[in-house]
Structure 1
Amino acid sequence: MAEQKRRFKVVIDGKTYIIIGNASDAHIQAVTQLVNDELTQIKSLATTLDDEQAAVLLAINTVSDQLRLQTKLERLEKENEQLKQQLAAQN
């Protein structure tokens, strides 16, 4: 049976949002905290950005980080598979 989606009320950059998903409370809290921390950092470094520009920059940074981590994960999975094959060949 699929997990039931829940509604989460979060505050990001002083604005309230409703997020619907099947994540845990702890996960949503961690995501909210990270988004708020990143927005605060972006706004402190680039004080001329408006809210929308800061949000777009945060999205770009987040997707960039995700792609970098995805590439690393794929490389590690490939290395892991190669090591498994080497180990199997030794046995």
Structure 2
Amino acid sequence: MVLLPGDLTHNLAAPAMLALQEAIAGEPDGTVVVDASSLINFDSSALAVLLACRREVLARGKAFAVKNLHGRLRQLAGMYGIEPLLPANA
């Protein structure tokens, strides 16, 4: 399981993505689950990071899922039409 940081805003997106890429690389085959339970302070950049994580995971031939996505962030994903790309379970 890959854990999102507590703060994921525009200024923090690039370093967070680098750390998440390393974590994804260390995940075993199968489904990579990104746990968003610690995510407290975020903006739409969090969605960009989640989509980048998804691309990274799929490029490695693994399945992708998001666990504990904050309701506000899921609502924002729905407004952008990308909610289906962030499945709660694969």
TM-score category, normalised to shorter length: under 0.3
Structure with higher Rg: it is 1
Q: When you count helix as a share of all residues, which structure comes out higher?
A: 1
Normalising by structure 1, we get a TM-score of: 0.27
Q: TM-score, normalised by structure 2?
A: 0.27
Q: Which has the higher contact order (CA 8 A, sep 6+)?
A: 2
